[in-house]
Structure 1
C-alpha cells in the first residue's frame, strides 16, 4: 500500500516528467503561435492604422488559448518520452526488480499530473477566459479599437416580432444595459418597410428609448431625423445580454451565473451546461495521460517493440481527445445529457487504461 517507497526515486521521476512536459509544451506553443500569426496577420493589417503593436497584442491574447489547447497533448507526449526513456535505459526493469508494481511506478507521474491539472484549471479561469473574451470582441470589430469595458458585447442581433434589432455594442447588464449604434429593421410580410438608426438606446422598464434617430422610409424614399423613438415593448434586457453567451469567454463561476439567468429566462442551456462540466473534466484529463501512455514503460526494450508500444500509447491518448470532442458535440445537439457529455470519455478511458495496465503488468 506504500505507493512511494522511495522519495528520491519519486522526485527523480517527477522532475524528469515535468521537464519533458513543459519542454514539449513550449515547442508546441511556439510553432502553433507562429503558424496562427502568419494566418491572421493579413486580417490584422487590413484595418487602417494597425501595425506591429497590434500583432503583439494579438499574440498576447491568442497565446493563452494555444497553451490551454496544447497542454493535454504535451502531457501525453511528455509521458511517452519519459516512460520510453526509462524503459530504454532499463530503469523500469530495475524498479520492478526492486519490488515496485506498475501502479507504484506510475504513481509519481499521476501526482505530478494532478498538479498540472490544477495549474491548467486556474490558468483557464484567470488568464484564458478573459483573453478569449477580449480577443472575441476584437475580432467582431475586425481588429479595430478594442472595447475598453469588460462586460461589452458586440454586433448583437435580436428579433422583435417581425422586426430585427441590431446593436453594434451592448454594455452593462440588467435594466441598466446600454445599446450603442442601434439599427431597427421594420419588416412586414417579409418585406422591409423602414430602416431606423439611432446613436444609443436605454431600457425604460417597459420599452426602449432610442435617441438621435434617423428614419428612412422604403416606400416613399424619404428620410427624417427624430430626437427619440420608443421601440421594443416586448424586448427585455436579457435578450441582448444573454443572446450570445460564450462558454470559452467566461470563468466557471461566471458561466454558472449565466446559465442560471438563461434558465430563469426560459432559454435552453444544455450546451452551456456541458461546457461548464467540461471546465473541470478538461483539465483533469491530463491525469489520464500517464495511465494511457503506460504501455510504453513496460516490456523489454531489447525486444524491439518499444516503438510499437509508444505508438499504442500515443494512439490511446489521441483516441481520448477524439472521443472527448465527439461526446461534447453530442451534448451540444442534445443527444447526450450535459454531465454525460463532459465526463463519459474521462471515465471510459480511465477504465480502458486501468484494464490495459492490469491485464498486461499486474
Structure 2
C-alpha cells in the first residue's frame, strides 16, 4: 500500500472535490475584492478622459480581472490547502485516514494531483489570455485611457538612439498596411559629449523610408532658451522599424513563442537578455507554484488537534507559502540585475521550497 499513492478511489475523489471547490471559492473571493479596490483607485483616471463612461470601466475590468486571477491563483491554492486540511484535522478525519493505513503522502497525493492540473490550466491561461490583455491594458494606460492607436503590435514608451540623438515615442503601432506610426514623439538632439542641445515635440510621426516624418510641433533650443514652431520634417534616418521591434520589449505582454523570438533577436543584435530570459524560465516555474502550495500547507494536516497546536500549524503552513512568494520575487529581481543566472533565479526558489516542504512533511509524519 505504501507504494500506491491512490489506494482508495472514493477517498481521492472526496479530497480532490473538497480541494477544487475551495480553490475556486477562494479565488473568486480574492479577485472580486481586489478588483473592486483596484477599480476604485483607477476609475477616476479612466473617467477623467473625455468620452469615457461605464463601458470603459467594464473594459478595464475585463482586462484587469485575468491579471488578478493569474497573480492570485497560487495564493488561492495555498489558502484552499489550509481551508481543506484544517477542518479535516479538527474533525479527526486525518486520524481516521492514518488509522486505515494511509501515509501522509497518500493523503496528500489527490491534492497534489489536483494542484498539478491547476498548474497546467494556469500555464495555458497565462499564455493565451493574460499576456494578451496585459499588452492591451498597458497600451491603454500609456494613452491615459484614451483611444489606442489602431493597428497591431502596439508598444509603449520606446527609446531608440540615432548616433548621439535619441528618439522617444509614447506609443508605436502598425496601421492596416503594416506601416509603423508613432504618437507623442520627442526628438532629443545631443552633441558629441551627450549634452542635450535641443528638443522637438510632435504629436505623431510615420516611417518615411528612411527616417521618420514628424508632424508639425514645437522645438526648444537649449542655448538660446527659445521655443519655435516646426514644420513637417524627417529625422533619425538611421532608425529602422526593425530596431523599434527590439528597442522596447515588454516580456509580460508576450506569450512564450513571441518571447523566444524576441530573445533570439536581441541576442543576435548583441543586447542583454538576462531579464527576459529569466521571465522566459519563470513562465514554467511560476504556474508550478500552485503544485507546491499543498506540500507547504500540509503541515496543518498532521498532528493531533487536541494538542492545541492546530492553529499554530496552520500559521506555519501559511508562513511557508508566503515566504516562497517573497523569495521568488526577490530572486527574479536579483536575477534582473545580474546577481543570479536567469535559470537559477527562476527555478531556485521552487526547488528550495520543494525540499523544505518535503522535509517538513517527513518530519511531521514521524
Q: Fold match, TM over 0.5?
A: yes
Q: Partners of 1:275 and 1:51 in 2: how far apart? A: 35
Is the contact made by 1:198 and 1:212 (CA closer than 8 Å) also made in structure 2? yes
Q: Which residue of 2 aligns with 1:345?
A: 349
Give CA-to-partner distance per residue, 1:118-165, whole Å, 9 cap, x none. 111111111111111000000000000133433112342222233221
Q: Tell me the distance in 1 between the aligned counterparts of 2:53 and 2:167.
A: 34
CA contact 1:170–1:241 (8 Å) conserved in 2: no
1:312 maps onto 2:309 in alignment? no
Partner SS, residue 288 of structure 2: helix
Query: What does residue 5 of structure 2 align with?
Result: 3
| Secondary structure of 1:283's aligned partner | coil
Please report how far the alpha carbon of residue 350 of structure 1 lies from its aligned counterpart in structure 2 after TM superposition: 0.4
- CA distance, structure 1, for counterparts of residue 332 and residue 51 of structure 2: 40
Q: Report if the CA contact (8 A) 1:185-1:194 is conserved.
A: yes
In 2: Cα distance, 1:58 partner to 1:168 partner: 20
For residue 49 of structure 1, give the secondary structure of its aligned residue in structure 2: coil
Q: Does 1:285 align with 2:285?
A: no
Which has the higher mean CA deviation after the structures are superposed, 151-160 or 59-68? Answer: 151-160
Which residue pairs with 2:188 in the alignment? 185
Determine the C-alpha separation between the residues in 2 that align with 1:165 and 1:253: 29
Aligned residues: CA RMSD: 2.1
Tell me what 2:53 maps to.
51
The answer to whether 1:327 aligns with 2:326 is no
Task: Tell me, in whole angstroms, the C-alpha distance in 2 between the residues paired with 1:273 and 1:351.
Answer: 25
Match of 1:303 among 299, 302, 307: 307
1:167/1:179 contact within 8 Å kept: no
Deviation readout 1:223-247 (Å, 9 max, x if unpaired): 4534x53x32432333322222111
Please tell me whether the aligned partners of residues 156 and 167 of structure 1 are also in contact (alpha carbons under 8 angstroms).
yes
Distance in 2, Cα, partners of 1:168 & 1:264: 26
The alpha-carbon distance between structure 1 residues 60 and 224, as it changes in their structure 2 partners (threshold 3 A), is closer
- In structure 2, runs of 5+ residues without a counterpart are none
- Alignment match, 1:201: 206
Aligned residue for 2:151, secondary structure, equals: coil
How many Å separate the matches in 1 of 2:334 and 2:186?
Answer: 36
CA distance, structure 1, for counterparts of residue 164 and residue 238 of structure 2: 12
Shift of 1:203: 5.8
SS, match of residue 158 in structure 2: strand
Q: How far has the Cα of 1:302 moved from its partner?
A: 1.3
The structure 2 residue matched to 1:126, chosen from 103, 115, 128, is 128
- Higher mean C-alpha deviation, range 348-357 or range 241-250: 241-250
Q: Does the Cα contact within 8 Å between 2:300 and 2:314 map onto a contact in 1?
A: yes
Per-residue deviation at 1:216?
4.5
User: Is there any run of 5+ residues in structure 1 with no aligned partner, and where?
Assistant: none
Name the residue aligned to 1:225: 231
What is the CA deviation profile of residues 283-329 of structure 1, one whole-angstrom value per residue up to 9, with x for unaligned ones? 01111111111110011111111101101111111111111011111
> How many Å separate the matches in 1 of 2:319 and 2:10?
32
TM-score (norm 1): 0.92
Q: What is residue 67 of structure 1 aligned with on the other side?
A: 69
1:264 Cα shift?
1.1
* Matches of 2:359 and 2:122, distance apart in 1: 27
Alignment check: 8 A CA contact 1:137 1:154 kept? yes
Is the contact between residue 262 and residue 269 of structure 1 (CA under 8 Å) also seen in structure 2? yes
Call closer, same or farther: CA 1:85–1:335 in 2, change over 3 Å: same
* Larger displacement relative to structure 2 (41-50 or 182-191): 182-191
Residue 142 (structure 2) pairs with residue 144 (structure 1): no
CA distance in 2, matches of 1:199, 1:309: 60
What count of residue pairs does the alignment treat as equivalent?
Answer: 356
